[in-house]
Structure 1
C-alpha cells in the first residue's frame, strides 16, 4: 500500500506519539463521496492516524471514498484497529463475502481495501460488520454499539442524518454518556453552530449547545477533547432523560384536575383491587376499572335519587 501523507505537526506531536491510558471505541462519521475536497480528506487522514497511535479503535462506514476512506488510510498508516459497518444491500451478489476454507471473509469491491482480509490475532483489528434490514437503522445501531465517543467530519445529508439522530438521542438522555464532537474544518459546520445557538436563545434547546455537540477545528483537538471528557465524572449527568407523564392517566377522571376537588380518592383502593404493586400499573388498571365502574355508579346513584324522591312525594 502506498504511504499516506500525514501532516508534519501531527507526526511531531508528543501527545500523538504515545498511547492513551485507556483504549476507546470511537465511531466516526464523514463523507463517502469521491468528490470530497482535499482539505477534508487531509483532516480525516489525520484523525485515523491519531486514533491509531493513541490506541483507539476507529469505527466507520467502511467506504472506499471520501472522509471514510481517508480516515481508514490514516488508521492503517498508524497501524491501528479498524471496524467497518456496511449494509448488505451494497454487497455485489454476496459473492465477495462468501466464507473461505480458512473461515475468513472477503470484502465487496465497494469497501475499503483494508478489509480485504479478516482480523488477524497477531496484528491490528480489521473487522467488517454487515447490517441487514429494509433500511439503514440496523447499520446505524451497529455503528454506535459499544462506542465511547462520536467524531463527525464534513459530509453530506447522510452524515448530517447520523449526526442529528445521535444529537437528538443525547439531548433526550438516551446516549448521555456518548460525547459528540464535530471537526469543523474550514468552518464547514458553522451554520450548525449558529442554528444550535439560536435554538438555545429561543428556548427550543434546554441544554447549552456544547452539552449536545462540541465543535473543534482539528482532529487532534477532537481526540484530546473526547479523551478528557471521558475522564470527566459529571459528563454523563449533563443530559438527563425527562420522562413524560402518562397521557392516559391524565385523561381519566381521577388523573385530572377534577379529582383534586373531591375530599377523597379511591385510587389506592383501585390499585389494591387490581392487584398491582407499582404506581404506574395501578394507575393504568384504575383507569380501565373506572371506565366500566364509574358509569354504573352514576346510573345507580341517579336511580336511587329518583326512587327516593318518588317515595317522598307519596
Structure 2
C-alpha cells in the first residue's frame, strides 16, 4: 500500500502501563504525522491512545476521534484534536472509525482492543473489506494472540487463508514496512451493519 491517507489505531486507554508501551505510542503518533497519515481513533485523552493522539498533534499531524456519548464519564474526550465527533453507540463508533481508515494498527491493549481488532478480522473473513490489519507486537505482548490464531487454524476453526488477513510487526517501524509492501485493496470498503 503506497500511501494510506488514514490509519485507525486500537490500543489501551490505561495510564498505568509500562513505559516501553508508552514510548511506542509516542513514536507511532510522531511517525503518522511525519508521513502525513491521519490518525483515526476512539477520541479519548488517556492511556496509550491519548499519547498517540497528543504526539501526532504535537508533530503537526491530523487526528480524528469518535466517542459514544455514554462514555464521557468513563473516558475523557480529547476535544483539542483536529476532528472530534460524539456518536450514539459503540457500534456507530466502530463503523465510523472503519470508514475513515485505510488500515489498522494494533498496539498493546486490553479487552476493548481485542473486541475492536477481532471484529475487523471477522469483517475481513466474511469479505466486507480488504484493509490491512497489523499487530504491533511490542515486548512480545501479542505472542499469545499469535498462538491462539495458530491453534484456531490448526484445529480447523479457520482456514490457512485467514492467516494472511493480519500481520505481526515487532516494532512501529516494522509495521510501516509491512504496510508499504502490501497491495492496495482491490475494491472499495463495503462494510455495513446487518
Alignment TM-score, normalising by the size of structure 2: 0.87
Alignment partner, residue 22 of structure 2: 41
1:110 correspondence with 2:76 = yes
- RMSD of the TM alignment (CA)? 2.1
1:243-284 CA distances to partner (integer Å, 9 max, x unpaired)? xxxxxxxxxxxxxxxxxxxxxxxxxxxxxxxxxxxxxxxxxx
Aligned mate of 1:62, from 39, 43, 54: 43
Contact 1:182 1:213 in 2 (8 A): yes
Q: Note if 1:85 corresponds to 2:38.
A: no
Residues 54 and 87 from structure 1, CA distance in 2 versus in 1: closer, same or farther, beyond 3 angstroms? same
* Preserved CA contact (<8 Å) 2:40 2:100: no
Q: Which runs of 5+ in 1 are unaligned?
A: 1-19, 93-108, 116-125, 238-314
Paired residue for 1:183, among 133, 136, 140?
Answer: 136
Tell me how far apart the structure 2 counterparts of residues 85 and 226 of structure 1 sit (CA, whole Å): 24
Task: Indicate the SS of the match to 2:156.
Answer: coil
Partner of 1:226: 179
Q: What residue is the counterpart of 1:265 in the other structure?
A: none
Other-structure match for 1:199: 152
Post-superposition shift, 1:187? Answer: 0.7
- Kept after mapping to 2: 8 A contact 1:184/1:190: yes
In structure 2, distance between residues paired with 1:81 and 1:54: 11
Q: Which of 78, 88, 99 is equivalent to 1:132? A: 88
Distance 2:140 2:20 in 1: 12
Distance 2:128 2:79 in 1: 35
Corresponding residue number in structure 2 for 1:290: none
* Correspondence for 2:165: 212
TM-score by length of 1: 0.55
Cα distance, 1:23 vs structure 2: 4.6
2: CA distance, partners of 1:55 / 1:23 = 9
Partners of 2:4 and 2:102 within 8 A in 1: no
More strand by share: 2
Unaligned runs of 5+ in 2: 188-194
Aligned-pair distance for 1:76?
1.8
How many residues matched?
A: 186
C-alpha distance after superposition, 1:111-162 (max 9, x if no partner): 23633xxxxxxxxxx00021114xx111111111131100111111011100
The aligned residue for residue 22 of structure 1 is: 3
